[in-house]
Chains A and B, each alone.
Chain A
Amino acid sequence: MPAGLNRALLTLVGAVIAILLAIAISSVAIIAAGASPLAALGAFFDFGSRPATVANGIATFLNRAVPLFIAGLAVAVGFRMNLFNIGVEGQYRLAGIVAAYVGSTFTAPAPIQIAVIIVVAAAVGGLYALIPAVMKVTRGVNEVIATIMLNYVAINLASYLVRGPFSGPRAEGSLNTTTPELPESAMFPNLNFIFDWFGQPEPTRGGGVWGFLIGAVVLGVLVWVVLERTRFGFSIKASGLNGQAALASGVDPKKMTIAAMVLSGAIAGLISLPELLGDKGAYTSTFTAGLGFLGIAVALLGRNKPVGIAFAALLFAFLDRAQGALQFADVPASVITIIQGMIVLLVVVANEVTNRFANRLEERRAAQQLGRNIPVEVGA
């Protein structure tokens, strides 16, 4: 399939150029700040000198990538049919706290306990995403503005719940409010044994490499299968490419909007689980925030395809990991956000340019292969 290959190559080249450009621009900023870009570059690859710190660095890196990947998947499902689910942020926070609370109310064998927590999280996320979907379908409310509003509602609601009805015993001297501790059976086994295989010390911080990594991979494969191979995925793609044509060919846009939005929300509901079940064991007021917004960037960078999103999540996590190392190298750590923002902006620009270029290439190729002068109607 050379046409598809061409396109993929072009996209890749575009993305690489965009990333290099983003690094170049950030380097200028670093120089302007009086630091050395080389030192910064070194910091990104500096996982520490001792095997133990390296292991911790790798664990931090992977643990950051997992929720980013899930967030990217959640956003991508909506994006595939031109639905902008900006509400992932609210969906995952609300889902996280409810799942953490429900999980703490009972004790069951580990598989059941974990399964219940996952189902609850997905259900809460999906139901919360149902609100903007229903608003859009029944009243034509733009989902962008609705989900933005619902984010505020969810974030406030979550902070009320963790402070009020769902609050558990607070640790001595701690200012953070938290839900009750999850029972031991709820904790996902970690993947630290992988380090043993290579004869390396196991990571010690933050619960090691979270076992939910496996769950995320499975989820990614599932989403890929659903989007690329099933009729449902085809309907989503058709609706996204040409809503009118999809309608005329029997795809019910209302049903699809609701299905895609709920699926997106359900995946979003899982975002907090890696951290919850792998490390914290409770939803606290200091739980990682902002993953929903970063998920938008990750999905864009990955072009809404699971494999792309995986790479994008790894890239973002790789950058984020260097937080501490950068400070040691005397480079402002916030340069990470700048690089990330620049990459997203430049990659979408590059996508636009390469897409246009690839389409034109394909038109020309088709015309050449047919070897004749096709009268085209231009515009009107």
Chain B
Amino acid sequence: MSRVGKYHVALVAVAALILLMSLVRVVSGQNDITSSGTFAAALLLAVPIGLAGLGGLWAERAGVVNIGLEGMMVLGTWFAGWAGYQWGPVAALLAGLLGGALGGLVHAIATVSFGVDHIISGVAINLLGPGVTRFLSEVLFKEGTPAADAGAGITTSPAISSSAWQASLPLLSDGPDVLGRLEDTHWFLLADLAGILRGLTHNVSVLVILAVLLLPLTFFVLWHTAFGLRLRSVGENPWAAESLGVDVYRIKYIAVIISGAFAGLGGVFLVFVSTKYVEGQTAGRGFIGLAAMIFGNWRPGGLAAGAALFGYADGLQLRSSGAVTSFFLFGAVLLLVYLGLQVRRLTVSDRPAELAARGTREYTLMALAAAGMVVLFWLWLTVDQLPNEFVFITPHVLTLLVLLVASQRLRMPKADGVRYRRGEQH
């Protein structure tokens, strides 16, 4: 499929998704499904995941699996908190980037120079990251230090001196706030569109804008510069790159350090949101970022979709846990659509021979889908509120489902995770 074709499919899919959400909202009466508040929260929650995912993308496109993103992110949060309370947000940003990059450097030394298994090194970094930050907290934030006087504790830094500047779209999300009014009408589709747009444009922090811009920037660097070409070639076939004089070690080092910096930036973002470093505030987002990247088939666009999914699930749950049950309805409608498409294919199909060959399997699948639809619908009618724990696991279960359905279509860089040594061809 050509690029334009893919682009169109993506647009149609997004449109269909919004339509579906609108439908579910109207039927269930849960306005939070597409409210600007939900989407604003989703955006905030998606950004750190997306940044971690970008970190993963940079490393894995260069052939280094980075499961240590979580540890690097932790380093990012601590350094941001530590520098932020003393010298302000810009210092926090830089320190967080550096902290994450430091984690990346360790990972690069272990995997690239010493050829340690990438997963193993990542696990060690996930152990080291929290350990080092805890140690630093115990030394620098303990009773009697200047930081403690400024409000630090053993698990938190003092608050960052000033918060980042925010922007809104004039007229639409600000002032007359056309979108906000439109949203309040709760009209079918229109209000939903307005809610989504307003959520994404009202009072958006500059950092969010910057973070979102990093997606196209990454795409641009990786796919349209000489450096990006070299980086991708190293992840596909490092021996080919080596034979053409590309310094594979250097590229891998740069990629993994940038990867760490991205993870660190994700940490910085978390610190800005809660205005200080809090131990454990990454809450596994490094891993989720990795999942988002795999979900997105090692491409920036797909990664963004994955991060958005996680962010949305979290955001909706935060805003209104009741709305989450609507997703039973959502799932039921999705299955209904699938069934409709299948039935149509069966009736229109002009190749009975094909049918005979594959019929049983397809009918089983359809029967399962129908049963699932009934169950989901029944759940939607009967369950008022899900225990929080079930809400938390929704994105993880979704990721597992996506992996189950799509993992054979995913195309990871061919030399991803492969041990490369200079001069040793495979």
Contacts and interface: CB of A to CB of B under 8 A. Distances in A.
A149 B387 contact: no
Interface in A262-300: 293-294, 296-297, 300
Contacts of B131: 334, 336-338, 340-341
Contacts of B424: 379
Interface stretch (B44-52, B115-123, B315-323): B115-123
Contacts of A367: none
A306 B257 CA distance: 36
A164 interface: yes
Give the residue among B138, B389, B424 with the most A Cβ atoms within 10 A. B389
B132 interface: yes
B11 to A, nearest CB: 29
Given A297-B127, A337-B134, A353-B114, A141 B407 contact: yes
B117, B120, B407, B425: most-surrounded residue (chain A CB, <10 A): B120
B291 A149 contact: yes
Interface string B274-307: 0000000000100100110010000000000000
A156 interface: yes
A24 to B, nearest CB: 16
A349 B115 CA distance: 8
Contacts of A156: 389-390, 392-393
Interface stretch (B15-23, B24-32, B216-224, B396-404): B396-404
Nearest to A336: B131
Nearest to A159: B389
Contacts of B100: none
B215 interface: no
A157 interface: yes
B309 interface: no
Q: Classify the interface of chain B: helix, strand, loop or mixed.
A: helix
> Taking each of A135, A140, A157, A341, which has the highest tally of chain B beta carbons within 10 Å of its own beta carbon?
A341
Contact of A332 (B117, B135, B403): B135
A33 interface: yes
Nearest to B412: A142
Nearest to B426: A379
Given A153-B397, A156-B392, A341 B124 contact: yes
A380 interface: yes
B189 interface: no
B404 A338 contact: no
Kindly state the interface size class of chain B when it binds its partner. 35 or more
B116 A349 contact: yes
Contacts of B290: 145, 148
**Interface majority SS on A: helix, strand, loop or mixed?**
helix
A149 B399 contact: yes
B400 A146 contact: yes
Interface string A337-380: 11011101100110011001000000000000000000000011
Given A293-B126, A345-B106, A332 B138 contact: yes
A349 B112 CA distance: 11
A341 B128 contact: yes
B139 interface: yes
Nearest to B400: A149
Contacts of A342: 128
Contacts of B387: 160, 164
B407 A29 contact: no
A297 to B, nearest CB: 6
The size bracket of the interface on A is 35 or more
A150 interface: yes
Contacts of B117: 348
Contact of B404 (A139, A163, A164, A336): A139
Given A150-B400, A353-B114, A300 B67 contact: no
Interface string B180-209: 000000000000000000000000000000
B43 to A, nearest CB: 22
Given A140-B407, A148-B291, A334-B134, A345 B119 contact: no
Given A145-B294, A159-B389, A348-B117, A335 B135 contact: yes
B407 A337 contact: no
A348 B407 contact: no
B106 to A, nearest CB: 7
A348 B294 contact: no
A271 to B, nearest CB: 17
B404 A334 contact: no
B67 A144 contact: yes
Contact of A29 (B120, B121, B135): B135
Nearest to B139: A33
A34 interface: yes
A333 interface: yes
Contacts of B132: 338, 341
B123 A337 contact: no
Contacts of A139: 403-404, 407-408
A348 B139 contact: no
Given A345-B128, A348-B116, A148 B287 contact: yes
B59 to A, nearest CB: 14
9 contacts: A152-B392, A152-B393, A153-B397, A156-B390, A156-B393, A300-B120, A337-B131, A341-B125, A348-B110
Interface of A: 29, 32-34, 84, 86, 135, 139-142, 144-146, 148-150, 152-153, 156-157, 159-160, 163-164, 293-294, 296-297, 300, 332-338, 340-342, 344-345, 348-349, 352-353, 356, 379-380
Interface of B: 67, 106, 110, 114-117, 119-121, 123-128, 130-132, 134-135, 137-139, 284, 287, 290-291, 294, 387, 389-390, 392-393, 396-397, 399-400, 403-404, 407-408, 424-425
Given A139-B407, A145-B294, A297-B123, 12 more contacts: A135-B404, A139-B404, A140-B407, A150-B400, A153-B396, A156-B390, A160-B387, A293-B126, A332-B134, A334-B138, A341-B125, A344-B123
